[in-house]
Amino acid sequence: MCCRYLFLVGIPKKMSEVNIGRRKEKCENCSKQVSESLPVQPVLLSSCLSCEGCLSEEESQRISQQNLQEVKRVLSLNKQCDASKHKVLVVSVCPQSLPFFAVKFCLGIPEATQKLCGFLKSLGVHHVFDTTLAAGFSILESQREFVQRYRRRHHDSHALPMFTSSCPGNTHAVMGSLVKDFFTRQQKLTPDKVFHVVVAPCFDKKLEAVREEFYNSLLDSRDVDCVLTSGEIFQMMQEKKVNVDDLDSVPLDHVFGETDDAGLVRHEGRGSEGLLEHVFKNAAKELFGLEVDEIVYKTLRNRDFQEVSLERDGETLLQFAAVYGFRNIQTLVHRMRKGRVPYQLVEVLSCPGGCLSGRGQVDSEGGRVDRALTQQMEEAYSSLPVRLPEMNPEIQRLYQDWLEGQDSPRALQALHTHGEDTDHFPLSQGSQYSTLVHFPLSQASQYSTLVHFPLSQASQYSTLVHFPLSQGSHLQLL
């Protein structure tokens, strides 16, 4: 496979330009026999998979958009006398990023989180949250949606299978709503006065953040203004020669305004994933009255392609699959085209090995995944106590105080998003990049893909396609 790299430059609020280049040394012996004379072609950024597939092979691949310089610019403006340009700086840290800092700091996750919070606040950050609360919303919405889909499966041919993902990108969109809507009203601020940064384990969340669905044109504000990877934050600490021992231990903040001293928790599941397990156990109870204490996975192709079944009296009631990594996703797509997929739900992650293996925090100097680091992070993450989102009173409080109840119009607006079929893809047949950007899923959507999932976890679409990042944005093939 030819190695491509993705380079994002100077993305303004309305337009995004991405350059996809080709590494000659990787293409000379490519079995695809790509022609050197193919013309430059424009590609809508809305057609980008955001799957990291074009930037996970070589150490030279970079994304330089929504970078540290943008955060430094906001911090610099906050130090100037013109108060009209000041912004409240909020940082939301994904739970899958916290084990990275724990390993790097040689501390437990709770202690490392407080050190990270202390570092960010020493820079001038006003509030630091973790996104576990938003993840809880994603889990509950996914559970509820699957039950609804299952019950209407006989009169809705598109109800199943349902696709879901515990990717932090889903959570950070919900967190964006929480920060720019609920939190700003709590603080008596307008959304444009808050600069919201999300720290995530992978690069593709940078692309998700510029989707037009999450841009308020009236207030000139995005739900997530900037995404930084765990590695970028750690790089900043190294550049500043920060000694972790010298950092203050500062507790996380809470969206209700008080300090969050309740302790960090995680959701159920293998490593950083596990949304499948929540949906599976809830569906077994709600649909069949069965209590499932432990889920047993059956490995199919490899550890990143597994399935789980619910059986009663020899009858298979439910069959779910967990599919991670682009190659396994492609295999699933081919099976779907042939009608050989028996699953009612598929949990998909683009990163092989799951969220902890995001390339924003596990790359070694040679551009390969640092397996030892990943193993350490998995052990650290599994040490956190599990708390079901159903048992979190803060989520129930937010459903009432913020969303006006479950399944309310306000909840649908804040926690859900919609996908689009991208059958307008402009690449010509035989293009050198066609293997990178499309995998047919259905006759109705020739270029639909199965690698980019709904940010709210609870999409309306079962034959899932990736979402547009910007209507006017474009890619440029070099």
DSSP 332-399: HHHHHHTT----SEEEEESSTT-GGG-TTTSB-TTSSB-HHHHHHHHHHHHTSPB--GGG-HHHHHHH
Segment 270-325, tens digit of pLDDT: 655 578 999 999 999 999 999 998 888 898 878 888 899 999 998 999 999 998 88
| Burial of residue 352, with CB atoms counted within 10 A of its CB: 0-12 exposed, 13-18 middle, 19 or more buried | middle
> Cα-flanking dihedrals φ and ψ of residue 462, to 5°?
-90, -40
Q: Which of 165-169, 174-178, 422-426, 466-470 is predicted most confidently?
A: 174-178
Among the ranges given (235-239, 265-269, 317-321, 383-387), the one the predictor scored with the smallest mean pLDDT: 265-269
Band the pLDDT of 329: cuts 50, 70, 90. Answer: confident
Mean pLDDT within 443-461 = 32
pLDDT at 271: 58
Evaluate if residue 394 carries a pLDDT over 80: yes
Mean pLDDT within 64-82 = 81
Percent of the residues in the chain that have a pLDDT greater than 90, as a whole number: 28
For tokens 């929540």, name the residue.
278
Q: Please answer whether residues 321 and 307 qualify as being in contact, where contact means their C-beta atoms are separated by less than 8 angstroms.
A: yes
Band the pLDDT of 212: cuts 50, 70, 90. Answer: confident
pLDDT at 252: 93
DSSP code for 412: H
Q: Report how far apart, in Å, the C-alpha atoms of 172 and of each of 292, 340, 397 are.
A: 29, 33, 20
Q: Which of 31-35, 125-129, 465-469 is predicted most confidently?
A: 125-129
Report the alpha-carbon distance of residue 382 to residue 51 in Å, rounded: 26
Domain ranges of the chain: 137-165+268-361
Give 471's contacts (C-beta < 8 A, 6+ positions apart).
46, 212
Buried b (16+ CB within 10 A) or exposed e, 3-40: bbbbbbeebeeeebbbebbbeeeebeeeeeebeeeeee
Looking from the CA of 387 toward its CB, the CA atoms found within 13 Å total: 16
Mean pLDDT within 139-154 = 93
CATH of domain 137-165+268-361: 3.40.950.10
Question: What length is written for the chain?
Answer: 478
Omega within 30 of 0 (cis) for the link into 161: yes
Among the ranges given (187-191, 242-246, 386-390, 430-434), the one the predictor scored with the smallest mean pLDDT: 430-434
More confident residue, 451 or 389: 389
Band the pLDDT of 261: cuts 50, 70, 90. Answer: low
Among the ranges given (151-160, 272-281, 424-433), the one the predictor scored with the smallest mean pLDDT: 424-433
Secondary structure class of 25 (helix, strand, coil):
helix
Report the alpha-carbon distance of residue 189 to residue 260 in Å, rounded: 21
Band the pLDDT of 31: cuts 50, 70, 90. Answer: very low
Q: How is residue 34 written in tokens?
A: 């790509």
Predicted model pTM: 0.75
DSSP code for 38: P
Looking from the CA of 216 toward its CB, the CA atoms found within 13 Å total: 18
Evaluate if residue 341 carries a pLDDT over 50: yes
Q: Please answer whether residues 99 and 380 qualify as being in contact, where contact means their C-beta atoms are separated by less than 8 angstroms.
A: yes
**What is the average pLDDT score of the chain?**
74
Evaluate if residue 371 carries a pLDDT over 50: yes
Give 389's contacts (C-beta < 8 A, 6+ positions apart).
135, 136, 137, 139, 140, 267, 278, 395
